[in-house]
Chains A and B, each alone.
Chain A
Amino acid sequence: MKKFISIKSIPAYLPIVNIDTDMIIPKQFLKTIKRTGLGKNLFFELRYDDEGNKIEDFILNQKPYDNSKILITGKNFGCGSSREHAPWALLDFGITCVISSSYADIFYNNCFKNGILPIILEEEKIKELSEYSHRKEEISVDLNEQKIVYGNNEAKFDIDPFKKKCLLEGLDDIALSLEKSDKITSFEKNLKNNKPWIFND
């Protein structure tokens, strides 16, 4: 996984609440067996009309937002399905940081597995940040310091220390868990004794 340390970008502001995973990447694009290539279809229905032409009004179709690495959005972002295609599509488009006042659980977790930083901020701060999107000014995000710098202002954000460490170092979850292999083995042994039906043998 790619590390996330800090980024600087003009943010794109998408003021819609409850953006669900179907809106982020509709199901016709879930038929892939790869993790890459989904970026061009990110927010497909908002981005393209029925003939497949770009809808010019949509923020990610406009310059400079088509190069934004930061997406600011309404609350409860990523609700709906567990599909990891949603963070894959964001990542493939180039977005590595999302800022919202809340997220759906599974989506939030999925971000961390893909090197995307989902930041939770209160609505007021989000309003302030959205101004920078309108004005096309860069903001910067520093994970180590847990802060967003915009103009002369700063906003601090909270993040689980372990998740932070994994992002900063680009750690592979599975390798970390496999370090606990002996613990898993002894758990399985106990399980076979105490609940033999689990293994159905």
Chain B
Amino acid sequence: MPYTLYDKIWNEHLVYQQEDGTSLLFVDRHLIHEVTSPQAFEGLRNSNRNVRQPSLTLAVADHNVPTTDRSKGIDDKESKIQVDTLEANCKQFGIKLFGMNDKRQGIVHIIGPEQGFTQPGTVIVCGDSHTATHGAFGSLAFGIGTSEVEHVLATQTLVQKKAKNFRINVNGKLPLGVTSKDVILQIIGKIGTAGGTGCVIEYSGSLISSLSVEQRMTICNMTIEGGARAGLIEPDQKIFDYLKDKPMSPKKENWEKALNNWKNLKSDRDAKFDKEISLEGKEILPMVTWGTSPQDVITIEGKVPNPNDEKDTDRKNSIERSLKYMGLKPDTAAKDIKIDKVFIGSCTNGRIEDLREAAKILKNKTKASHVEAMVVPGSGLVKQQAEQEGLDKIFISSGFEWREPGCSMCLAMNADKLKPEERCASTSNRNFEGRQGRGGRTHLVSPGMAAAAAISGNLDDVRKYQN
């Protein structure tokens, strides 16, 4: 029988299956962070349980850490308790931790690949919905809740039911100024935030294979915004080259063995998918979101929708609600939307290629005077690399702040946040109400588009600044 890549990884990790299909799946890689793990460790202690395979878990503090000078520690008392609790738990249970002052510290979904902890064909979980990011390596990676974190710690397995197979083909070439962020925003606009519910999405097609490893991560990262459990891409030579010699990648004869295994990770040619859609690269334009759901997308040449054009009442109400929250009038042109802040960072677009893309646009230009802008690299190593390349200087001289790594204004759990009614062009992944601060208004864009918005002071077309 022909199998999809998802089927194959699933089958290889099946420890036990009940008659009704409820399955126990082995977990090869478990990432934890300070926000969704404390209650899991507390649960272990309360029931006198141990961590079954401490070496398969990697911990990092990212959601809550300050992005300004860290030498004085964390001001916020509650944040500090969480970060300290993570440290204590890791010590007690023998788990490797990248603490706040470790130069390898960074956003959990950025450090996994960076360290070679993320590997093809594995099952990877983390108490964070953007775990789907790791699917770019041909792994089955998905977010779990805290009770499940506890379950994985105690048993190294997870209770799951098999999801459906959904394939999204993207063919052709990306037009100039269009990035993988625009591809995934367009996909979410097309399928809706519940379009992938109950599915694992495989991205394929010539455009997907032409993408770099980091661009692929941006696509898989936002799979969850389309409601799917996970998104993955068949691994190829680019992935193997990326992983070679990473600190936690297989070494010597293990590398050869792993490589042999990884090369077979692909969907069979005649594998059946429960759902399938296709997109053409040439039809994709730079995208922005206008509303409070990632499916609320328009192209930069487009206009904000008018609720009166909508027949479905649910949809109409939700457009009205979003417009009101966003402080936008129906039919406003995207380019007429003035912004107050720019945020470049997050696990979606906080990697070195993202920073290069933004810096390329900002070189020899300055941000509009009314705009506040900041770059938060995804990890300490991304930051270091960017500084070696002099990107920090470009950002600083164009008026951006250059910060320490972390989640930062992606979810505004630390001090970085929007004030009520402030409007932000952001390279993150969620534009929910209050996501970047109470009353804050988020427009999701690619790093290049964020840079363009900073220069123009309004949402703008990155292609204008492309040379």
Query: Chain A residues in contact with chain B, CB under 8 A?
Result: 16-18, 20, 22-23, 26-28, 30-35, 45, 50, 74-76, 79-84, 87, 102, 104-106, 109-110, 113-114, 160-162, 172-174, 177-178, 180-181, 183-184, 187-188, 191, 195-201
Contact = CB atoms under 8 A, between A and B. Distances in A.
Contact of A196 (B52, B156, B257, B432): B257
Nearest to A87: B145
A104 B197 contact: yes
B314 A17 contact: yes
25 contacts: A17-B317, A18-B293, A23-B433, A26-B434, A28-B413, A30-B35, A31-B35, A33-B42, A34-B42, A35-B42, A45-B434, A76-B197, A79-B227, A80-B129, A81-B129, A82-B145, A106-B129, A110-B145, A113-B145, A162-B22, A177-B151, A184-B15, A188-B26, A197-B250, A201-B55
B449 interface: no
A22 B294 CA distance: 14
B68 interface: no
A191 B157 CA distance: 13
Interface in B405-463: 411-413, 420, 430, 432-435, 438
Interface residues of B, number: 75
B82 interface: yes
A83 B145 contact: yes
Contacts of A28: 413
A84 B56 CA distance: 23
Contact of A84 (B39, B198, B317): B39
Given A20-B433, A27-B412, A105-B197, 19 more contacts: A18-B318, A20-B430, A22-B435, A26-B438, A33-B42, A33-B82, A76-B193, A76-B197, A84-B36, A84-B145, A104-B197, A105-B198, A105-B227, A160-B20, A161-B20, A184-B15, A184-B156, A197-B250, A200-B55
A133 B293 CA distance: 28
A198 B122 contact: yes
Interface of B: 15-16, 18, 20, 22, 24, 26, 28, 35-36, 38-39, 42, 47, 49, 52-53, 55-56, 63-64, 76, 78-79, 81-82, 85, 119, 122, 127-129, 131, 143-148, 150-151, 154-157, 159, 161, 193-194, 197-198, 227, 229, 248, 250, 254-255, 257-258, 261, 293, 314, 317-318, 321, 411-413, 420, 430, 432-435, 438
A177 B24 contact: yes
Nearest to B420: A50
A16 B432 CA distance: 14
Contacts of A106: 129, 143-145, 229
Nearest to A23: B433
B54 to A, nearest CB: 12
Residue from B150, B194, B420 with most neighbouring chain A CB atoms (10 Å): B194
B158 to A, nearest CB: 9
A191 B258 contact: no
Contact of A183 (B15, B159, B197): B15
B44 to A, nearest CB: 9
A27 B432 contact: no
Nearest to B143: A82
Nearest to B22: A162
Nearest to A186: B15
Contacts of A195: 257-258, 261
B193 A187 contact: no
A70 to B, nearest CB: 21
B24 A180 contact: yes
A162 B16 CA distance: 15
Contacts of B129: 80-82, 106
B112 to A, nearest CB: 14
Given A81-B129, A197-B254, A35 B39 contact: yes
A7 B432 CA distance: 32
Contacts of A30: 35, 63, 413
A114 B43 CA distance: 13
Contacts of A16: 318, 321
Contacts of A191: 26
Nearest to B85: A33
A30 B24 CA distance: 29
B107 to A, nearest CB: 14
A84 B254 contact: no
Contacts of B145: 82-84, 87, 106, 109-110, 113
A16 B319 CA distance: 12
Lowest 10 CB-CB distances: which A-B pairs, in order?
A: A197-B250, A113-B147, A33-B38, A31-B78, A82-B143, A84-B145, A110-B145, A84-B146, A197-B254, A82-B129
B151 A114 contact: no
Contact of A178 (B42, B155, B317, B411): B155
Q: Among the interface residues B22, B147, B420, which one has the most CB atoms of the partner chain A within 10 A?
A: B147
B63 to A, nearest CB: 8
B49 A174 contact: yes
B81 A102 contact: no
Contacts of A196: 254, 257
A1 B154 CA distance: 17
Given A23-B433, A197-B250, A177 B155 contact: yes
Given A76-B227, A106-B129, A187 B194 contact: no
A80 B430 contact: yes
